Every structure is written in C-alpha cells, then in structure tokens.
Amino acid sequence: QKEVEQNSGPLSVPEGAIASLNCTYSDRGSQSFFWYRQYSGKSPELIMFIYSNGDKEDGRFTAQLNKASQYVSLLIRDSQPSDSATYLCAVNGPYGNKLVFGAGTILRVKS
Amino acid sequence: DAGVTQSPTHLIKTRGQQVTLRCSPKSGHDTVSWYQQALGQGPQFIFQYYEEEERQRGNFPDRFSGHQFPNYSSELNVNALLLGDSALYLCASSLWMGGGYNEQFFGPGTRLTVL
C-alpha cells in the first residue's frame, strides 16, 4: 500500500466549475497535510496546508481533512484555465519533518 | 524577500561521474530538505539538514550525501552517477519546528540528465 494515494487523472472540468481533488494516506500518526500545485516543467508551489479536522478556506481554495477516514481533499471553486496543473498531496508524520508525496492528480480546466 | 534559489538549472553528466547541486534557503529559514522527482512521480525525500547536521534521511543509497553551511545554504552530492539518477532535484526551505508542522517552500529545481 502506498503511503499517500491520489487519482492520477486527468480530471477535466469546465471553466467556472468546482474541481475536487482527493488524497488518502496510510499513516494514522500523520499530523500535517499540504497541497502543492506544479505546472509542467516547474517546481511545486505550496497553495494550502491544514492541520486540524474540518475545512480551511483560502480564496477559491478549500482544504478538507478527515483524520478518522485518513482522507484529505482540495476544492477549487470557479476553476480557471490557469488552474490546469498537477496537484500534489503531501503528508508529514509525527516524527521528523519529511514530506511524503502522492504521485499527483492532473487537472485540466477547459474554457 | 529572496525565495529559495538553486544552481545550476540544468546539468548533463555521464554515468560514473559525480555532481554537486546547491541551494540557498528562503530568508529567515534554517532548514533545508532535498527531494528527487522522477518524471510523472511525486517528489521523494532524500534528506534534511538543520544546524549543519543531517536530521532525517529517506531511502537513498550512500552515494547521495549532503552538507549544510553556517549560512544555512546546502549542497547535495551524488557520486557514481547512474542513468536512474536522472531527475529533477528539488530543494525545500523551512523553519525547524517540532511535531512536523513545517511548511516547506521549494526552489526552482535542478534538472539532472545522466547519459
């Protein structure tokens, strides 16, 4: 079982729609959760982080965490073509500071 | 406020050679982590440096080594290069915090090609 799993996609949504990206993790001791956006040929850019169960909103982005289900998601409202990228879910465990990444979900927003 | 910088941007080496990659963390940050990202994969943790010591290491062979300098900058060295070492090497900058609540910010990366 992979430590962090994401659907590879591609996930295609029309412009203006809500994009929903999902991630599951295996280590129940994980404490912090991150979403990175990576454009083709570029490095990952941190867009959201969440530490507590529930929702966290930042502009068009909402991160949702359910530790009991070991599930974290990212919602992108009013999706724009510029949101087309690979979205990486990363998890940090209770020991040390390494991030464990999923393989990423490719998002395509069509105008 | 300078972000994370890495050099060089691109590098081409042949099998068996050695390579050194460099990273300067974001201003105010004291911890540097290195990751390897193969095409189509998520980044894989190599190791992390804080206070000039390796604090945590991922599942990478001893051919991968590093160093952190008093000014918090860091180097990643890879010896006896293999074709499979071809990847994007990412440096991430953060503040050292207990409990794992650290946000890591990536540099632009170094694209290494081994022929």
| pLDDT (tens place) for every residue of chain B, 115 residues total | 679 999 999 999 999 999 999 999 999 999 999 999 999 999 999 999 999 999 999 999 999 999 999 999 999 999 999 999 999 999 999 998 765 677 999 999 999 999 9
- Can you tell me the distance from the alpha carbon of B107 to that of A28, in angstroms, rounded to the nearest whole number? 30
> Which residues in chain A have their CB less than 8 angstroms from residue B88's CB?
43
The reported pLDDT for the residue numbered B114 is: 98
> Which residues in chain B have their CB less than 8 angstroms from residue A90's CB?
42
> Which residues in chain B have their CB less than 8 angstroms from residue A95's CB?
100
For chain A, list residues with pLDDT below 50: none
* Burial category of B62 from C-beta neighbours within 10 Å (exposed 0-12, middle 13-18, buried 19 and up): exposed
Work out whether the CA dihedral B97, B98, B101, B107 comes out positive or negative: positive
CB contact under 8 A, A96 and B103: no
The reported pLDDT for the residue numbered A94 is: 64
The reported pLDDT for the residue numbered B100 is: 61
List, in order, residues 6 or more apart from B62 with CB less than 8 Å away. Answer: none
The reported pLDDT for the residue numbered B96 is: 87
The reported pLDDT for the residue numbered B97 is: 76
CB contact under 8 A, A99 and B104: yes
Residues in chain B: 115
Per-window interface: B 42-81 vs A, CB < 8 A: 42-45, 48, 55-56, 58
CB pairs under 8 A between A and B: 74
B95 touches A at CB < 8 Å: no
The three-point CA angle A6-A10-A15 to 5° equals 115
CB contact under 8 A, B101 and A103: no
B31 touches A at CB < 8 Å: yes
The reported pLDDT for the residue numbered B99 is: 58
Question: Which of A21, A4, A24 is CA-nearest to residue A83?
Answer: A21
